[in-house]
Chain A
Amino acid sequence: MGVATIGRVSRDNTSTDPKVRAPLVLPGNDYASITDKVCSIVETPRPPKAWYVAFCIAASLTGVLGAVVVYLITTGVGVWGLNKPISWGFDITNFVFWVGIGHAGTLISAILYLFRQKWRTGINRFAEAMTIFAVICALLFPGIHVGRIWLEYWIAPLPNQMSMWPNFRSPLLWDFFAVGTYFTVSLCFWYMGLIPDLATVRDRAQGKVRQIAYGILALGWTGSNRHWHRYERAYLLLAALATPLVLSVHSIVSFDFATSMLPGWHATIFPPYFVAGAIFGGFAMVLLLAVPCRQWFGLKDVITPRHLENMCKIVLATGMMVGYAYAIEFFIAWYSGNPTEGFVFINRAFGPYAWAYWTMVFCNVATPQVFWSRRARSNPWIIFGVALCVNVGMWFERFVIIVTTLSRDFLPSSWNSYTPTWVEIATLAGSFGLFFTLFLLFLRFLPMVAMAEVKAIMPAPHDPVRR
């Protein structure tokens, strides 16, 4: 691409003309400029002011999280507003919410890889980082909600003082294996993708400390083609393994509910419904992070309007699947002829938690509909707004499922209502603090775009004139 043509090429690569292959990296870039753009973010002595402001807020919230978790552990789970019959509230809502967020990262890194969706390369790195940090936040909640956390190792199949083994017929134990495996595999996948890019940062490092730190992290990568050969094969295998894994994780999370006998939970639609919701909420979170990041760190050439548009389309599609699941739940509640089931759903929509239900429906079903319009899909403000709405909506979805069912049991004498205490609200806010603290540190110290993968999908430089 000659310099003269660059000025005439549109910066908008969202064209749907099937005759033209839209560029995945905007024109005017070569291998070196990609490295410069991505590496300068981690090399600059001073990140943008917005980074400092965001980091201060996030780190303070993480401090709050630490304090309330210590308070919870030293005092007991009574500091939460949970009691019979509502023994799950904010804790499990937050757990399911955060695990769900992670799913988009794995979908982008593994499923889109298997389907040869080359546009994934611009966004997969930070989406995978988002997965890791979201799963850390998710693991926190089951970790602290058990009360006596020092006996947590009883979950693992380890010999213990009671000479007992875990009950492998419990979905809660399946959950431990599913989320634990998910975290480990996501971490391997993410780190493996990082190795070549860490080597790039190592090779450009100026100071001794940076050279040694990135040198150790890059594991001595030399870009050897014999290494690339095994690396690519291992990456493909990990993608092939992560694909069924990610579908299994939220399915197993949904078994926590679906295998119980409670009305509103005991439904066969739960696994696909939960997986669609997880991808929906996760993509919204990727958009929520991508829109400001590409602005602040000058990555608009790599995370292009087309990337955002594609993600908006996925949000629209998965949002409609979620909407369909909401409708089918109601249909089955009526069609089953089970009066308790019917009552639970009428109560969800028109009972004391109707405000939460309609917030969920508005955020998850109504707002993504704006993405039918191409103008909305290419306006970062609208994308950010819808992504925010979807995240709120997906949190409320889990809240509605958990609380409406538990608060209206089979026996009216045991009905109750649930109000979170300040400790629960602070823990939720703190989990966002932890997530954003980790994410901001990632942006500061690790390459946020998979440079090697982006270069592999760029057109090769022209051959020099043959002699």
Chain B
Amino acid sequence: MDRMTRDMDLRTDIVLLDLGHDRAVEVGFLHGARLFRRLAGAIACLTVPLLAGCTGPLSTLDPAGPNAAAVARLWWVMLAGAGLIFALVMICLLLAYRRRTRARGSVGTWVVGLGLVFPTTTLTLLLGYAIVTGERLLPHPGQEVLRLDGTARQWTWNFVYPDGGPAIPDGGPLVIPVGRPVDIHVTSEDVIHSFWIPRLGGKIDALPGHVNVIRLQASEPGRFGAQCAEFCGLGHTQMFFWVDAVPEENFRQRAEARR
């Protein structure tokens, strides 16, 4: 109450520091900007070796099939575009602080040109690319396709080739032929799980009461990792299996060995 009464005397404004301008922040900012430029250079140099470390049994950046390869390509294109746009914004921000350059505050340039026209154009192109790529990944009917039934439960997978194929033990390793599209019909016995072989393609959820179909194809032989990608309880982390892509000949032999 008394403090307030004192403050009611408004004839003298007490200003000890000019909060508007903080020299320490300015210095720190300029140092930071310089540091940032150096860091950006360092990051650019490190990027190449970093990218070399993109392999791994579950890596989407180390595609082993056409779907994953299409998506990886899409990623690199988007990364380049995003990098350019980010650089544009950061340059604007840095330029704003250069005392000498003063831009014209025109709504037309900034709001309509950069804010409206530029994103709209870019996004229309991206939408087209997205839909076209997405269409190619779909399980369109009328192809020489192998059917696999994958049923998830807490916390493993059951695989059956209904039209003839090797017997797969619960939890894998799953055997698929190289060079042939496989349509996996995915469902669940209990909670929602997700079927995902990153090196071959995207994921599809396993829903109880529904059957979802995903088309995947291996373009080279090898062993790939697969992980349940929808949180399904205590054993979610352990719901991993291996996928072995084997040549067509080998696959047929295993299918017959089952009989």
Do the two chains belong together in a single complex? no
- Listed in ascending order, the chain A residues whose CB lies under 8 Å from chain B are none
- Listed in ascending order, the chain B residues whose CB lies under 8 Å from chain A are none
